[in-house]
Amino acid sequence: MSESNVIIVGAGPAGMSAAIQLTRMGYSVIVFEKAVIGGLLKNARQIDNYLGLRAQSGKQLIDKFKEHLEHYQVLVIREKVSLVNYEETEARFIVQTPTQQFKSKYLIIASGTNALSHDLEKQIPKELRGIVHHEVHPLSQLRNEKVLIIGGGDAAFDYALNLSENQNDVTILHNTTQQRCLAEFKNQVLARPEISILADYEISDMQATPETMPPEATLVLQKDGGTTTLENINQIIIAIGRIPEKSFLSPDTASKWEKLEKNKLLFWAGDVKGGRNRQTAIACGDGIKAALEIDRKESENN
């Protein structure tokens, strides 16, 4: 079983920042990433609040982060963490993937979030499941299509701006009277003729449009007792929120969270702990803070 000083679950901004800082301080680090390095950054059209790097796309920033990781030769294992236990007799975390086990004295959880499901998803006809998504990056090459985005926050509006740049016809649909996005995003959306907004609507039905291939969707919307129909929708993105990814923690470890955190053995960093404050700069700060606290604890013990 391989062992390192620190194991980090997740190679998003928080996990990468922690790994680089720990490596600089001389600790052995293993990072696990189940998907692609960079986390949700891959969806970002443009990042304007990361100090010193104005107007970077998410992909551009990920490339810079990867270069930084490679410079410090950080080990990133591209496997999903399936289970994490804490063995008190060894005072070690045991991290299990589908193929092997690892152990460490410290654990940083920077595993990010999963998409919230919409009630509509329980009713999606089988033939339409392939056109429903929770992120925009699978549609990066989409052109001249009709897209529905369900949600009224930053992600929904950013996705709409992203897709409109490729001449897609985009509709943002949400069930409140007010949008919850940045004023900057809202103003940009309102200036794009390719994007329309349907506010305060509820979806009452979704069916496959008859005799269309590839499949298209028809949705029936309700508002103030009346109905509206959206037809020939080619793609749907559901962007109504995110929940922390903690599924890999064993029930036994979960019951010890507070004690492990209090003893500075377990740390949370990035979106998994950030609630609605999902920002790249905050995630990076979380990762560096966790690394510094580990170093401080080691110094106290020595």
The rounded distance, in Å, linking the Cα atoms of 247 and 38 is 20
Can you tell me which residue has the tokens 């997740």? Answer: 10
The rounded distance, in Å, linking the Cα atoms of 174 and 179 is 8
Q: Higher-confidence residue: 51 or 293?
A: 293
Lowest mean pLDDT among 26-35, 43-52, 57-66, 193-202: 43-52
The rounded distance, in Å, linking the Cα atoms of 256 and 86 is 8
Domain locations in the chain as residue ranges = 2-114+242-301, 117-238
pLDDT above 70 for 270: yes
Domains 2-114+242-301 and 117-238 equal at CATH topology level: yes
Task: Please report the pLDDT score of residue 242 as a whole number.
Answer: 93
- pTM: predicted TM-score of the whole model, two decimal places: 0.93
Model confidence pLDDT, tens digit, residues 89-137: 999 999 999 999 999 999 999 999 999 988 888 889 999 999 999 999 9
pLDDT above 80 for 48: yes
Q: What is the CATH class of 2-114+242-301? A: alpha beta
Helices (H), the chain: 13-24, 58-71, 154-164, 183-190, 251-254, 257-262, 271-274, 280-301
The two tokens of residue 61 are 């920033």
CATH homologous superfamily of 117-238:
FAD/NAD(P)-binding domain (3.50.50.60)
The rounded distance, in Å, linking the Cα atoms of 167 and 162 is 10
Task: Please report the pLDDT score of residue 274 as a whole number.
Answer: 64
Model confidence pLDDT, tens digit, residues 8-27: 999 999 999 999 999 999 99
Give the DSSP per-residue string, 95-142: EE-SS-EEEEEEEEE---EEEPPPGGGGG--GGGGGGEESSSGGGTT-
76-98: average pLDDT:
95
Give me the sheet containing 217-223, strands edge to edge.
Answer: 202-208, 217-223, 226-233
Model confidence pLDDT, tens digit, residues 135-174: 999 999 999 999 999 999 999 999 999 999 999 999 999 9
